[in-house]
Structure 1
């Protein structure tokens, strides 16, 4: 498509009529009118806000920029009508999600753009809400609560939601991290947005002073004091929260076998992937016999370590069983297994014992829509040929992944389930948490380091060691306080052995469950209601 020119003068559309297709002119001019009502300064500020927040996420990881981006976003919306604020919110969302989700482009630029813009739609009600509640006293609190509400909605609707790139996931090694053990990811998001709101509060006071020359300079003292006092209180309290470290020492091993080559077609080389993990496990067994490394008490293989069904493929069964017997300890094996009816596939984490073979298992409860199963299959396969690569839907598991593996109970989640509060909270009842993942398709993009960031926050949130096993990386071992004990490189075979604490005590976040999420979301909704009611009372009094 030829690039379209969009001159500003009223007569320009006729002059550029050949460039603007019939039927599109009204939509283009409508978008321009909306941007004009918002003010180009605010629209550009919204773009800046999204880009600033993106820089705070891995792999760039400039985490202090998250509240700065929130502050710019808030200032861009404050004083707007809700309808106009919808546009500004969407622009900020698009500017944020398009760069933060660039890894999705590996499966197709269309999928990346569509998913990013769908996620940006959630910033429409957020933008309108922020514009409304900033009319109330104490508005930094109410705007922060709305961020929690936006993330809660985005994490549940539709198809189970997509809670990637939450504000909390940019704060995995910061003064706010340990708040996760108090109120989970929702509280970390709330406080991150609250700091941004307080920055906006102070900046708004400075801007108002600049516009009103008659206002005395001392009028700035109170708002700036509130801003600084709030920042010190939030950051100081976060630093003071104790981090869990003690626990029963358990020696663990994480195996990263690697894949033959990059790209989607690596799944067609299923035997090579399995052989890589078998080979690395035999190598580890040799090093143990030679006294080079300590003998682990359990071993973790990643998701898709075997895309050959070990229950149906004798060669796969023999290869896995031989490696497990050689290492002599239970191994959690990631494998794809056909359902009895042959119509679906199960993504399993299988407890494989060196004496008794495969036993208990966990089936992934949250398969990826449009990746592991197809909503509206009959329609979409006719429209998009790429979906032929998903010939069968993945079945959904029915129970949590808490299982016995050697001397401990582990809590297993598979791949992007680590982004979901409920799925992770369910398995935090284990002594050690495990994330089995396959990032080969998205290797060397922003997605693997973002997933590691989520795992770090989950470790603190639930006070558990987290073992991340990835086929091609990034594999990791995370301490209960969020420290990185081990982190692999991508697309290399690697094995890590470490002694880690196994813990049974619960955090306050465990005991509160989804309470903080609901309470903060309802707080934001209540603030919108109060702002609307107050505005109506004022209008009635005129």
Structure 2
């Protein structure tokens, strides 16, 4: 007897069951994201006040690993995580007195620009010599961040984390763009060397040209830095000057540092008079001139006779010109101004800060922010106006360039003091509003890089510290503590020669941006050709 089975309908057929990824598999998918964020943190740890500059290399090696071969969406996400890991801890000081809102908003915007760099790096990672294109892309990203939005925010340039590193002499070759490019190139190339070694072990084959390029990517930045060492010198070319840096301290920390009328001015005048007593006692040499910090006069000495009188007496006591930082109003406009105060003639020269700080010295989108929350506009009641001329004081034949506080982060603001004849540079600053955060150490590192970049002595007078005297080779020879009254006196070398970085200006950065654009163009073209062929 034959029995025939009934037909099997579609609903009775067995369908393959979709297998859910195991817990371990799901965790593995999170590894690239975790590595991207942690490599950003590693990059942050390489920055001052720590001297772990070399951690930037493994940070970029890991960043290269997570980006290589990724699609643009994944690369954007991983780049954003890298940016958050780096910038969240680096810029935490921006929220010390105003709360986390501005800090988080700033980091969120800046990390978007890092994410775009991540997309570019992933695209060029398929090209020959990809570390070169990728490092140029990072430099291009820094160039954008230094200009937009609201005039830019260059804080976190890789160069500013290298004040203690072997790559520092490259600042004299091509400024912060070349120094940062070399570090990033070395990091990406380091990953490529490791990748090729692992490929060789697995396949027994490796492209000799790829290996040579990767090794050159590691070796050339290091050898270039060693070759650039002769550009770094603290030899006096135009004699010397004895300079005094005054740190008067402030009566209280935070945004209310100047709430007590004339207190900050009195503190700096008092410390100057103490120094005058030490000079009279023969403990220290008489300075040729004295440098006070930004905002060292908390009231306008042109508008208030008592402020002018206090400044006069301090200059007379020390018997030397004093560069005073004040907030000055002219024709209804506010200026962050440095005033050269002669002990006999009074005020003789001025410099108005040109790169004013958004949300600190002026408020972008004021009407929009006020419509959202009126309290936000009270932090900056009146916008500061920008100066228009480079700051170079001629003090008894010594030409002192001025880059006020925030300006030290901007290549152009420091360079044009040197191209206008500065034989040394001063960076008067006020960090009292940032408490005991890492901000002051980050800014001090910038000044060390600027010293090497332009081969100039750099002095950093700060209201509350850390104040310092920096030699043209980037060494700090004297420094103060934080939130103490103190003074520094030293004979420093004056120099007039220009480094290649000073002479070339923006050209190295432009060249690296063009290299980045060429790499992206090549990657896009290769991708389009691949799609057509497929």
Match of 2:140 in 1: 149
Match of 2:299 in 1: 308
CA distance in structure 1 between the aligned counterparts of 2:166 and 2:211, rounded to whole angstroms: 21
Contact 1:459 1:481 in 2 (8 A): yes
1:432 correspondence with 2:419: no
62, 74, 83: which one aligns with 2:73? 83
Show CA shifts across 1:371-406 (max 9, x none): 111112123134341431311111111111112123
CA distance in structure 2 between the aligned counterparts of 1:145 and 1:230, rounded to whole angstroms: 12
**Cα displacement (A) at 1:48:** 1.4
Q: Report the RMSD for the aligned CA atoms in angstroms.
A: 1.8
1:97 correspondence with 2:87: yes
Match of 2:408 in 1: 418
481, 485, 491: which one aligns with 1:493? 485
**Cα displacement (A) at 1:83:** 2.4
Bigger shift: residues 509-518 or 59-68: 59-68
Match of 1:18 in 2: none
471, 495, 511: which one aligns with 1:519? 511
CA distance in structure 1 between the aligned counterparts of 2:283 and 2:262, rounded to whole angstroms: 29
Match of 1:450 in 2: 442
Contact 2:327 2:337 in 1 (8 A): yes
Match of 2:34 in 1: 44
**Secondary structure of 1:492's aligned partner:** coil
CA distance in structure 2 between the aligned counterparts of 1:307 and 1:495, rounded to whole angstroms: 19
1:502 correspondence with 2:489: no
**Cα displacement (A) at 1:522:** 1.2
Contact 1:58 1:446 in 2 (8 A): yes
363, 367, 372: which one aligns with 1:378? 367
Show CA shifts across 1:76-132 (max 9, x none): 111111122111111110111001111112121111111111111111210110000
Aligned counterparts, 1:132-171, within 5 A: 132-171=123-162
Match of 2:531 in 1: 539
**Secondary structure of 1:252's aligned partner:** strand
**Cα displacement (A) at 1:239:** 2.2
60, 63, 69: which one aligns with 1:70? 60
Show CA shifts across 1:128-167 (max 9, x none): 1000011110011111100110000000011110000111
Task: Give the direction of change, closer, same or farther, for the CA distance of 1:373–1:484 in structure 2 (3 Å limit).
Answer: same
Match of 2:354 in 1: 365
TM-score, reference length from structure 1? 0.90
1:409 correspondence with 2:409: no
Match of 2:188 in 1: 197
1:240 correspondence with 2:230: no
Unaligned runs of 5+ residues in structure 2 are 1-17, 19-25
Aligned counterparts, 1:250-269, within 5 A: 250-269=241-260
**Cα displacement (A) at 1:225:** 5.9
Match of 2:3 in 1: none
1:110 correspondence with 2:97: no
CA distance in structure 1 between the aligned counterparts of 2:120 and 2:297, rounded to whole angstroms: 47
Match of 1:339 in 2: 330
Task: Give the direction of change, closer, same or farther, for the CA distance of 1:230–1:148 in structure 2 (3 Å limit).
Answer: closer
Contact 1:38 1:80 in 2 (8 A): no
**Secondary structure of 1:500's aligned partner:** strand
1:467 correspondence with 2:459: yes
Aligned counterparts, 1:204-353, within 5 A: 204-209=195-200, 213=202, 215-216=203-204, 219=206, 226-241=213-228, 242=230, 243-247=232-236, 248-341=239-332, 344-353=333-342
**Cα displacement (A) at 1:229:** 4.8
Contact 1:37 1:84 in 2 (8 A): no
Structure number with bigger Rg: 2
Contact 1:43 1:91 in 2 (8 A): yes
**Secondary structure of 2:381's aligned partner:** coil
Contact 2:129 2:213 in 1 (8 A): no
Match of 1:19 in 2: none
Match of 1:24 in 2: none
Match of 1:188 in 2: 179
Contact 1:443 1:490 in 2 (8 A): no
**Cα displacement (A) at 1:540:** 2.2
**Cα displacement (A) at 1:40:** 1.8
CA distance in structure 2 between the aligned counterparts of 1:187 and 1:119, rounded to whole angstroms: 21
Bigger shift: residues 456-465 or 321-330: 321-330
The size of the alignment, in residue pairs, is 502
Task: Give the direction of change, closer, same or farther, for the CA distance of 1:346–1:38 in structure 2 (3 Å limit).
Answer: farther
CA distance in structure 1 between the aligned counterparts of 2:450 and 2:195, rounded to whole angstroms: 35
CA distance in structure 2 between the aligned counterparts of 1:285 and 1:422, rounded to whole angstroms: 36
CA distance in structure 2 between the aligned counterparts of 1:184 and 1:430, rounded to whole angstroms: 17
**Cα displacement (A) at 1:208:** 3.7
**Secondary structure of 2:403's aligned partner:** strand
